[in-house]
Amino acid sequence: MALFQISEPGETTSIDAQGKQLAAGIDLGTTNSLVATVRATSIHEGDGDNRRAETLADETGESLLPSVVRYCENGKIEVGKIAKNVQLDDINNTISSAKRLLGRAVGDIKTLGGSLPYNFSDADSNVPKIQTIAGNVTAIEVSAEILKTLKNRAEDSLGGPLKGVVITVPAYFDEAQRQATKDAARLADLNVFRLLNEPTAAAVAYGLDQKNELDERIIAVYDLGGGTFDISILKLNKGVFEVMATGGDSALGGDDFDHAIATWILQESDSDLTHHAMSEARRVKEALTNKDNVNVSLESWQSTLSRAQFDKLVASLVKKTLLACRRALRDAGLSKEQVHDVVMVGGSTRMPVIREQVAVFFDKPPLVDIDPDKVVAIGAALQADVLAGNKPDEEMLLLDVIPLSLGLETYGGLVEKVISRNTTIPIARAQEFTTFKDNQTAMTIHILQGERETVEENRSLAKFALKGIPPMVAGAARIKVTFQVDADGLLNVEAEEETTGIKSNIAVKPSYGLTDTEIEGMIRDSMDNAKADMEARRLREQLVEADRTLEALDSAMKTDADKMLNEDEVTLLLEARSKLHDIKENSQDSVEVKLATKHMEKVAEFYVARRMNDNVKTAMQGQSVSDFADTDN
Amino acid sequence: MLDFKQNYFSLFGLPETFDIDFTTLGSAFRELQAKYHPDRFVDANDKDRLVAIQTTGFINEANETLRSSRLRARYLLKLAGVDFDDEVDTTSDGVFLMHQMEIREALEEVGNAQDPLARIDDLAQEISGEADALKDDFVDQLAAKNLDAAKEAVLKMKFFERLCQQSKQITEQLEDDLF
């Protein structure tokens, strides 16, 4: 044991009063983020470990930091509640749910786009950029602002710089999303000990990794947050956490339960005060956690909602989550009876109906002792404490497996797996390939992630060329491709022609010290998405667009065709309509559908203009009120 | 630093045989991981961290090789001086290949059976029985130093590995359809 610590002059120390290294766990969430640490709580008489994991609160005593960042005109950046409070007034410059965009390509975003109120920059970049009054920002930068705020909170509270952090990510996060999370941490000047899967962190918080009475433990982590639901099935075997299956619904959360109550309030009170109904619904939902009946009021209308009534209102939502649980179990090849522990995560699991139904489904009471909002951050803090070396006698070692197989494109658009899923990491593995043409001097190394057999069905991670292969007959060159995956699941690939020693490599993982432009360049490389994947997505989007156009036309014509159109015009519109309808039903080509939709819109332009002139004010007012009511929660 | 030249069996303190004790393997694996995992070196310099990644990579590779019966058999042959790439090398036993085709056809026709789930269960059992027989054959041939015959058994194991995967996929598909 050292009697004193030597520190560099001018450097504040990363050590606390007990001589422990300062470390923290960060839960970087979609709706809220938290930071937690392990530290001495109160001074006890006698010895014994009085260090505990606890979340750190801001100056107002609030642990939850809303994951909302606002960019102001004067260059100021606001994070958390202050940004969330003005979100509706400054919707374009206030970014929430940035986590949904992390590690996504521009093409991916379009599928999410409908629900996001931001303006994406058209700049030539595959990394989506959100236009704000202070310039374009990426989801990585937005996340970095949240991390910086939490870092400052932790350092203020602990009285020194953090030696390192553990950041949690969803178990289903792929390589690009994990990399983006690490990049955000780098921008926030954080040293990342490790990325940890969120469900694993929750299991660690409950000490499930310390229970050795079973060789193998199956743990279900039920995570119902504000806007997302995740179910993860983990297998714990002597400290090795294996993610056996994940599932859920990225558009189901506590907000939907509020909606259910709000809808009931609006019906019962015969009112259309959506906004007020939503805030009343939230209050009622929370009050019902501890009471059997709650008074409900909306202006002059008054009533009571019983828990039994509430349970009925939300029964279909609860059932949806249980169906996802059933599916995840099936994916894992397990039955409900094989699950040893059920861990509850996310504020919405406070609802008694959720706890009851989950207990019935798994036939055992779920673990609820730790605050479900904080449990992930607490698990991350425990792991950070061990990694910082504060528990030299601690045996805890979490081994992760890669969630998806990694492979290479081979001849014929097929994928050869180099490292299969559920392989314990870190791992390095080499595979030999050869040229398939005489005098072939270059070879493209295309790295893919996923379980399917063809390139189109997997996610493309990166592509690079090995050049300068000396001319040889087909099959004579010996090209060794080495995959190396580190403990965070990040990949490095190297290709070498063995007869000449010509090498080429790509760090799908950027090394430290790179500029942001370089990071971005690399992310762009790693996002070179599978073409077919994107085409399929584009087609789906265009079909939705076509449907929308057809519906709009139908409803307009139903309302006022007789007043506004003559017979020729009706024929013209109906012809264009049937053309678009035919293409929509039969086409496999997104461009064709898009052109047909545009054509339809063009033909209908005169009609739209006529209707607008006639009816401009009412149409616009009706639109904006209902739109805002829906997104306001 | 760990000796990367040592063979996988001695790494885990196991005898060089096909039939190994998985409990011993499991605890030896964990002990090595606890010592060499990169998480134990978060504070070290870049070189030591890289060494930690490579060392655990070696340990993981050794563990996976010994956990799989086919890879373990191939590795035993490699130690005996018979190294081959079973991605390229394959068996030329005509009778065996014929039988493989029969099983594959049977698998493809499962959907037409009266009770497809019962049929696939029967087939899966048949496949795993034959795979077990191959393992016994390998152990006998290796003991008798018939290395060519032992290699033949390993090449055939690869076919059974694929059949097992295929039958599992079909089972899942059937269950999905019924659900």
From B33, B53, B85, residue closest to A397, measured CB to CB: B33
- The matching CATH number, chosen from 3.30.420.40, 3.40.50.300, 3.40.50.970, 3.40.1160.10, for A20-206+371-392 is 3.30.420.40
Crossing angle (nearest 10°) for helices A106-113 and A531-564: 30
Average pLDDT, chain A: 82
pLDDT for residue A107: 67
pLDDT for residue A126: 65
Q: How close, in Å, is residue A541 to chain B by CA atoms?
A: 28
Structure token pair of residue A615: 């009816």
More confident: A554 or A317 = A317
A201: nearest Cα among A62, A380, A400, A26: A380
Q: How far apart are CA A189 and CA A148, in angstroms?
A: 8
pLDDT for residue A115: 56
Q: How far apart are CA B18 and CA A604, in angstroms?
A: 76
pLDDT for residue A3: 30
What is the second-level CATH architecture of the domain A209-369? 2-Layer Sandwich (3.30)
Q: Which range is least confidently modeled, A467-481, A506-520, B49-63, B163-177?
A: A506-520
pLDDT for residue A14: 76
DSSP string, A408-453: EEETTTEEEEEE-TT-BSSEEEEEEE--SSTT---EEEEEEESS-S
Read off the pLDDT of each residue in A292-312 and give the average, rounded to a whole number.
94
pLDDT exceeds 70 at position A116: no
Question: pTM here?
Answer: 0.70
CA distances from A149 to A30, A72, A81, A161, A416 (A): 16, 17, 12, 13, 43
Structural domains of chain B, with CATH? 8-67 (1.10.287.110), 94-178 (1.20.1280.20)
Number of A to B CB contacts under 8 A, please give it. 60
Assigned superfamily of A406-529: Substrate Binding Domain Of DNAk; Chain A, domain 1 (2.60.34.10)
A584 touches chain B (CB under 8 A): no
pLDDT for residue A519: 46
Q: Delimit the domains of chain A by residue range.
A: 20-206+371-392, 209-369, 406-529, 532-631
More confident: A43 or A385 = A385
Q: How far apart are CA A514 and CA B27, in angstroms?
A: 40
> Highest mean pLDDT range out of A112-126, A216-230, A449-463, A540-554?
A216-230
Residues of chain B with pLDDT under 50: none
pLDDT band at A261 (very low <50, low <70, confident <90, very high): very high
Using the structure block, give the residue that is written with the tokens 């379980």. Answer: A451
**Domains A20-206+371-392 and A209-369 equal at CATH topology level:** yes
3-class DSSP state of A192: strand
In chain A, the percentage of residues whose pLDDT exceeds 70 is: 85
Say if the Cβ atoms of A238 and B54 lie within 8 Å: no
Q: Which range is least confidently modeled, A210-214, A486-490, A591-595, B27-31?
A: A210-214
Q: Which range is least confidently modeled, A278-292, A310-324, A508-522?
A: A508-522
Say if the Cβ atoms of B38 and A389 lie within 8 Å: no
pLDDT for residue A523: 40
Say if the Cβ atoms of B57 and A426 lie within 8 Å: yes
What is the second-level CATH architecture of the domain A532-631? Up-down Bundle (1.20)
In chain A, the percentage of residues whose pLDDT exceeds 90 is: 36
Say if the Cβ atoms of A387 and B42 lie within 8 Å: yes
pLDDT exceeds 70 at position A259: yes
Structure token pair of residue A73: 């005109």
Residues of chain A in contact with residue B60, where contact means CB-CB under 8 angstroms, are: 423-427
pLDDT exceeds 60 at position A42: no
pLDDT exceeds 60 at position A285: yes
pLDDT for residue A540: 73
Q: How far apart are CA A508 and CA A450, in angstroms?
A: 16
